[in-house]
Chain A
Amino acid sequence: GENVEQHPSTLSVQEGDSAVIKCTYSDSASNYFPWYKQELGKGPQLIIDIRSNVGEKKDQRIAVTLNKTAKHFSLHITETQPEDSAVYFCAGNTGTASKLTFGTGTRLQVTL
């Protein structure tokens, strides 16, 4: 089955700097890679996703890149703000598409 590894586990950046979170996956048949943001006391919420037929996707200050050959994908947040502080999870689907396997999460702290 799919195995998704996520790094780093914690990340502290200053407001205005960029943050990058990286994930690797094992199942070469995986074709869908979402990113979720979990704020304190809440459930994870989808913020961006990418399919295997594209290499990059942007939505305002966030972007995701995918390298299928190396089987890794990354979340990029530019011009970070205090409200970006949260736990971020990457995920990958299995070949059957019926299941998402999540990474272990990255706690991002944006300091003033």
Chain B
Amino acid sequence: EAQVTQNPRYLITVTGKKLTVTCSQNMNHEYMSWYRQDPGLGLRQIYYSMNVEVTDKGDVPEGYKVSRKEKRNFPLILESPSPNQTSLYFCASSKNRDSGSPLHFGNGTRLTVT
């Protein structure tokens, strides 16, 4: 089944403790992206990757890192999480980033930083 898989689904951590949220897609998609969803703010892009070893900042990249060593994986790294990073995170992928290439989203990771 074609899908984007994120892990974990739920994560509670403390300020400053490094964490990684994994994302994997099995559709051989070139483009992958991370979003955060906050009430009243919709979906905001954190980072995106056009292909292996090619990553770029989105609208809200501060406090996050990503890597794209393999086509299928695009982990999101929080080196020193802070409470303002408490949010619902989504990974997404698409065949490429041409207009009309639909985004496929994972089911989300709900992160709480205390």
Contacts and interface: CB of A to CB of B under 8 A. Distances in A.
A103 B40 CA distance: 9
Contacts of B4: 43
Contacts, number: 56
Nearest to B3: A43
Interface string A91-103: 0010001111011
A41 B37 CA distance: 13
Q: How large is the interface on A (under 10, 10 to 19, 20 to 34, 35 or more residues)?
A: 20 to 34
Given A49-B100, A51-B99, 15 more contacts: A42-B108, A43-B4, A44-B90, A45-B105, A46-B103, A51-B100, A93-B99, A97-B98, A97-B99, A98-B48, A98-B50, A98-B97, A99-B45, A99-B48, A105-B43
Interface of A: 6, 9, 31-32, 34, 36, 41-46, 49, 51, 89, 93, 97-100, 102-105
16 contacts: A32-B100, A42-B107, A43-B105, A43-B106, A44-B90, A45-B105, A46-B102, A51-B100, A93-B99, A97-B98, A99-B97, A102-B35, A103-B42, A104-B41, A104-B42, A105-B42
Interface of B: 4, 35, 40-45, 48, 50, 58, 90, 92, 97-100, 102-103, 105-108
